[in-house]
Chain A
Amino acid sequence: MASLKDLRVRINSVRQTQKITSAMKLVAASKLRRAQEAAEAARPFSERMERMVGSLAQIMGEREDAPAMLRGTGRDETHLFVVATADRGLCGGFNSSITRATRARLKELGEQGKTTKIICVGRKGREQLRREFGAMIVDHTDGIGRSGGPSFEEADEIGRGLARRFEDGEFDTCTVVYNRFRTVMSQVVTFQQLIPFSPPEQAAAEEVEDTGGAIYEFEPDEEMILSDLLPRNLSIQIFRSLLENAASEQGARMTAMDSATRNAGEMIDKLTLHYNRTRQAQITKELIEIISGAEAL
């Protein structure tokens, strides 16, 4: 049986852990609020951007000379995945749910004989995918949003990198994998296809009413605008997924730390009860010893 001292030590250590987890929970909660606000604030830009690209896509979509980034390369051989995860752990199933979904998709494509490549954003995703798919990882970026949330420059960097790789013909389709923020409790792993461009259905439907089929004037011309707009759109879509991801990460961490704090509390209760019982038992034992000693005299 554990001695009283051992129990005291254990209770103390659980209490320390609880302090840490509850502090982490509070930090995550305040970061979550900021991340959510950032994600909200960035929404108008990506919506307008989508609308613009959507209307251009309608005009250019049927044409033979539409840029490959819009139409695709016409092949379906090499798939690139941008896997966005967090740099840190201790956030429940946040990172592993992304890597698990990615792993399944990679296996599926592998069985179909397709080539797959990975770009890892965030340290955890790389660590988890490296062992199995190390050869496929062509690039990685760490430390996104270290200074309070992902910035557009960081996303732009990734976006430009993607555009460059695409020009070089390194891949045919590109998909970004991230956790979409639904509520604090639930985040949904999302595969969003970036290349070829797939307009969100809702926005496309809106567009038809909006312009009434009228024809835009272009300055300088369609191709120039489109070749400028599409890489920019890549960056902004990545920016949006990074923001969503940041909010999800904090949400997941908050939930995980909340239950960790609760579990620690339960454990402390249990240990304290055990400690008190043991103490009582010891006192009783000592009393019995004294009494029986006195009787024997």
Chain B
Amino acid sequence: MADTLQFELVAPERLIFSGEVEMVVVPGAEGDFGVLPGHSLLLSTLRPGVIEIYENEKPKDRYVVAEGFAEVTGERCTVLSTEAFETGAIDRAEAEARLERAQLGLRDADGDEERAKYEREVELAELLAANVG
């Protein structure tokens, strides 16, 4: 069995990460799960959270993702997310502004659908603010 798997992180606008990794931890809708080579076939939805790519049993790269989907097979793991940010590239001011906007939106939200939308947005913005640099 190969000791790496092909990991891809894809946002609508572009391919963010593609390469061989040893392990990756994905924030699934029902709890985080780690993916190692030879993982069984899995399709899962994601909640806003942090993806960690491991190298030498230590987290190397971290990405904040919004909701999305993960597809896992023995050889590869593909994560599709509507938004994804590398933790090193998050701008503090931007993240805070976004959080503020989201909170304002949530306060004025009208109806369940809109409220749910802003709740997710707040969650994501909080994650972004917490993972600056």
Contacts and interface: CB of A to CB of B under 8 A. Distances in A.
Interface string A210-221: 110011111110
B45 interface: yes
B8 A225 contact: no
Interface stretch (B9-17, B50-58, B91-99, B100-108): B9-17
Given A51-B71, A152-B12, A225-B43, 16 more contacts: A41-B13, A41-B14, A44-B8, A45-B14, A48-B80, A217-B41, A218-B42, A218-B43, A219-B28, A219-B30, A219-B45, A220-B29, A225-B69, A228-B69, A232-B69, A232-B82
B51 to A, nearest CB: 15
Contacts of A215: 41
Given A48-B80, A152-B82, A229-B69, A220 B12 contact: no
B78 interface: yes
A49 B80 contact: yes
Contacts, number: 77
A155 to B, nearest CB: 8
5 shortest A-B CB distances, which residue pairs? A41-B14, A219-B44, A152-B12, A44-B15, A216-B41
A52 B45 CA distance: 12
Which secondary structure dominates chain B's binding surface?
strand
A51 to B, nearest CB: 8
Given A214-B41, A220-B29, A52 B80 contact: yes
Interface of A: 38, 41-42, 44-45, 48-49, 51-52, 55-56, 151-152, 155-156, 210-211, 214-220, 224-225, 228-229, 232, 236, 239
A32 B10 CA distance: 23
B43 A217 contact: yes
Contacts of B29: 219-220
B6 to A, nearest CB: 12
A38 B42 CA distance: 30
B71 to A, nearest CB: 5
A156 B82 contact: yes
Contact of A42 (B13, B28, B42, B73): B13
A38 B78 contact: no
A217 B42 contact: yes
A186 to B, nearest CB: 26
Interface of B: 8, 10-15, 28-30, 40-45, 69, 71, 73, 78, 80, 82
Given A52-B80, A211-B73, A217-B40, A224 B45 contact: yes
B27 to A, nearest CB: 12
Contacts of A156: 82
B98 to A, nearest CB: 13
User: DSSP majority for the A interface?
Assistant: helix
A228 B29 CA distance: 12
Contacts of A210: 73
Contacts of A42: 12-14
Contact of A225 (B10, B12, B44, B82): B44
14 contacts: A44-B14, A45-B12, A48-B10, A48-B78, A48-B80, A210-B73, A214-B41, A216-B43, A219-B30, A219-B43, A219-B45, A225-B44, A225-B45, A225-B69
A8 B126 CA distance: 67
A41 B71 contact: no
A216 B30 CA distance: 16
A56 B14 contact: no
Contacts of A41: 13-15
B116 to A, nearest CB: 12
A230 B72 CA distance: 19
Contacts of A232: 69, 82
A52 B30 contact: no
A216 B69 contact: no
